[in-house]
Structure 1
Amino acid sequence: MTMIDMPAFDVHDPQQAAEALPFLMGFRPDNSMVAFIYDETNERPHGTARRDIPADPAEWNECAGQFFHTVLHLMGHPDGTANSLLLYLSPDPAAAANGYAAMRRYEPLAARLTEAATQHRVATLGTLFVTTTHWWAYDHPEPMYCRSEGMPAHSPDFPGPITTAAALGGIPMPPSLAEVHAQITPITGPLADAQTRSLDRAATRWNERIGSNSLHAEDQSFTTLLDTLLLDGGDGSPLADLDTDLAADLITGLQWRHLRDLAMEFTRPAELRRAHDLWTLLARRCTTPDGEIAAPLLTLAGYTAWASADTAIAVITLRRARQADPYYQLAELLLAMITKGLPLDRILATTQRQRALRLGRLD
């Protein structure tokens, strides 16, 4: 789910704004500061930014300044005059057992974010503190929104207008941030053991092929395999049934930059969802102790998330790629582009030209 297909809501209504937060992000954030950028000129969403809240309050001031710098880049207007912001603080559930006390504890961070907006002449529509069960509004003229017991948060069991509209529109309730991380975390158990053995065998096979100068033939075989799985929507075979040897060959092949670049071609509408699912599945199959092998797969998953306009998920995934390999340049590049508010269009155009040349057709 992206902001393109999320339910509409009134940005000036704190209750609707609090309920909309997980739909804005594509997940239910925790331990997060979030900025929702609203384009006042065209009266539509412009984007979101998120950052973890440091555990040490002494770091909040610097972190808020850095976060706001990112927000300004995303706006695309140095003075922010064409946009307004909704600001959110969403704590870790463990830190918000007493919601009102937590809201007060985070008040200096909320004040610093508001101060940064004022310094840069950016209008704020409000600053909300949102937990899984309640929400509060900082410095709101309506006393009810600041009361100690808080306002009850809407959910599938207690739906408000946003959740109801989403359900009627077939939009699922977004997952939690923990669930998002679980979707890109390596598998465990017997399948993981079998996958590790397959990866070891695949690495040996690829090294032997390099030594025997048969890599060109291997490239052709790999290209055919990707086309079968993904081109124009692929062959429809269930990705969940991918056996460990085939997964290992794909993971190992995608360590090569030219084959990873080929994988970036599969971003057409009929291919995008399946490509994202494949890269995510393969990232979870990176079970060897050397976590660096996951970096290309996580980068491809982040790239396809961004191509789907799911920027928040893209950032999370690309950061995981950087954790797997801090020197993986494509992940670093894509993250920098998102942070600076640059479009993906040029990369997409390049990969589509590459695709047309490879397939010998201009379509």
Structure 2
Amino acid sequence: MTTIPTIRLSSPADLIAVVPYLLGFHPEASLVATVLDTENRTVGGTVRFDLPSDQADTPRLARHLTGILTRNMARQVMLIGYGTGAQVTPVIDAVTDALKAAGIEIVDALRAEEGRYWSYTCTEAGCCPPEGVPYEPTASAAVATAVFAGFVARPDRAALADTLAPVEGPDRDRVNAATRAACARVRTLTDADHDWYHEGADRIAAALERAQAEQELDADDVAWLGIRLTAIFVRDAAMTFIGRYDQETHVRLWGQIARRVPPEFAAAPLSLLAFTAFGYGDGSLARVAIERALSIDPGYRLAHLISMALDHGLPPSITSEVNCADMAGEIEAQARRYPQGARPTLPEGW
């Protein structure tokens, strides 16, 4: 579930207009459920599902959504189906029944298509005519609030995923060459030669400082950081910096590393990006990062754990229950006890 800054609504059109900014992309053939605080007229968390291609899957979607909203203690929600009536109506009907049975109030249920919306709860022709209500997204104050807060609505989900696509061209060649050279160097070193854990942690701290200053890393820095993150203890050390640097800095760094390292090295920075995004409530970014991480390494454990949290709709607040900074001492002690866990594990062929 994605959480967001305070955005106030004055009409259903406001919510429809702002949803793409909450998700990071314009949804198509989707069901979106947004938690509302109707007393303060504000938006809470948002969750999105693809509309089922097989209507036999609709009851399962309804149960899954209800479970997510229940775990997040939602009391009032608004539903928006994006698509044709034939696609949306059976889903809205099933979800409505499931949410009512769970005691969750549906403030409104809407269908949006081609610049118009229809309400499933309003039968007044004066405000909800049969031909639908036109809306203009750019005229919404809610959108202005989201844009001011730094939210971006990409054309579709694929465009969001493309923000994490591997970099090509001369930079790819430079980083690949630097990675080859660094891997060769790693193979010549013994654990006695290097304090792998502290050197890795120091490189992470230096990279975060550069990211905070909005500076790009050079090819050698990217290569060495990508290599060091293949060590579990070094990757875990990166998590201890959450809270010491803001979300934007972490997202900027791990996104840059994930795109620039050779794909075989990308699972760790993608998982760090997903963990950061999930903790700060950006479920859409976390999801696309995890999908790419698992496409690279289907068995990557941290990626699976984050994927499970997303699948079960666990609230981002669960990450605040783990003080990552306090874990530093424990991880360091583990690295001293088991030094091989801090040594890079080079992918096959490197």
TM-score higher than 0.5 here?
Answer: yes
What is the alpha-carbon distance in structure 2 between the residues aligned to residue 185 and residue 275 of structure 1?
18
Report what 2:85 is aligned to: 103
- CA change 1:143–1:20 in 2 (3 A) is farther
Report what 1:85 is aligned to: 77
Report what 1:25 is aligned to: 23
Report what 1:9 is aligned to: 9
Report what 1:202 is aligned to: 182
What is the alpha-carbon distance in structure 1 between the residues aligned to residue 186 and residue 113 of structure 2?
49
Q: How does 1:337-352 map to 2 (within 5 A)?
A: 337-338=309-310, 339-341=313-315, 343-347=318-322, 349=323, 351-352=324-325
Counterpart AA for 1:32: S
Q: How does 1:131-142 map to 2 (within 5 A)?
A: 131=113, 133-142=115-124
Alignment pair present for 1:307 and 2:269: no
Q: How does 1:285-304 map to 2 (within 5 A)?
A: 285-288=260-263, 290=264, 293-304=265-276
What is the alpha-carbon distance in structure 2 between the residues aligned to residue 42 and residue 146 of structure 1?
24
Counterpart AA for 2:78: L
- 8 Å Cα contact 1:26/1:174 also seen in 2: yes
Counterpart AA for 2:9: F
- CA change 1:45–1:15 in 2 (3 A) is closer
Report what 1:281 is aligned to: 256
Structure 1 residue 153: Cα displacement: 3.6
Q: Which runs of 5+ in 1 are unaligned?
A: 92-101
Report what 2:33 is aligned to: 35
- 8 Å Cα contact 2:8/2:41 also seen in 1: no
Alignment pair present for 1:229 and 2:207: yes
Bigger RCO (CA 8 Å, 6+ sep): 2
- 8 Å Cα contact 2:273/2:289 also seen in 1: yes
Structure 1 residue 171: Cα displacement: 4.4
1:235-274 residue CA offsets vs partner (Å, 9 max, x unmatched)? 85544x3222321211121111101111112222644321
Secondary structure at the residue paired with 1:106?
helix
What is the alpha-carbon distance in structure 1 between the residues aligned to residue 80 and residue 137 of structure 2?
17
- CA change 1:234–1:281 in 2 (3 A) is closer
- CA change 1:321–1:236 in 2 (3 A) is closer
- 8 Å Cα contact 2:51/2:87 also seen in 1: no
What is the alpha-carbon distance in structure 2 between the residues aligned to residue 235 and residue 295 of structure 1?
20
Q: Which runs of 5+ in 2 are unaligned?
A: 333-350
Secondary structure at the residue paired with 2:154?
coil
State the superposition RMSD in angstroms: 3.1
Counterpart AA for 1:34: V
What is the alpha-carbon distance in structure 2 between the residues aligned to residue 143 and residue 104 of structure 1?
21
Structure 1 residue 345: Cα displacement: 1.5
The equivalent position to 1:187 in structure 2, one of 143, 160, 167, is 167
What is the alpha-carbon distance in structure 1 between the residues aligned to residue 132 and residue 219 of structure 2?
50
- 8 Å Cα contact 2:29/2:51 also seen in 1: yes
- CA change 1:208–1:55 in 2 (3 A) is farther
Counterpart AA for 1:284: R
Aligned residues: 327
The equivalent position to 2:327 in structure 1, one of 313, 331, 354, is 354
What is the alpha-carbon distance in structure 1 between the residues aligned to residue 211 and residue 15 of structure 2?
42
What is the alpha-carbon distance in structure 1 between the residues aligned to residue 169 and residue 186 of structure 2?
26
The equivalent position to 2:191 in structure 1, one of 213, 216, 229, is 213
Structure 1 residue 346: Cα displacement: 2.4
Report what 1:66 is aligned to: 64
Report what 2:101 is aligned to: 119
1:76-120 residue CA offsets vs partner (Å, 9 max, x unmatched)? xxxx6xx111112234xxxxxxxxxx2343211121111211222
What is the alpha-carbon distance in structure 2 between the residues aligned to residue 189 and residue 326 of structure 1?
27
1:155-176 residue CA offsets vs partner (Å, 9 max, x unmatched)? 33xx223224445x46454334
- CA change 1:111–1:300 in 2 (3 A) is same
Q: Structure 2 length as normaliser, TM-score?
A: 0.80
What is the alpha-carbon distance in structure 2 between the residues aligned to residue 331 and residue 171 of structure 1?
27
What is the alpha-carbon distance in structure 2 between the residues aligned to residue 40 and residue 125 of structure 1?
8
- CA change 1:285–1:325 in 2 (3 A) is same
Report what 2:340 is aligned to: none
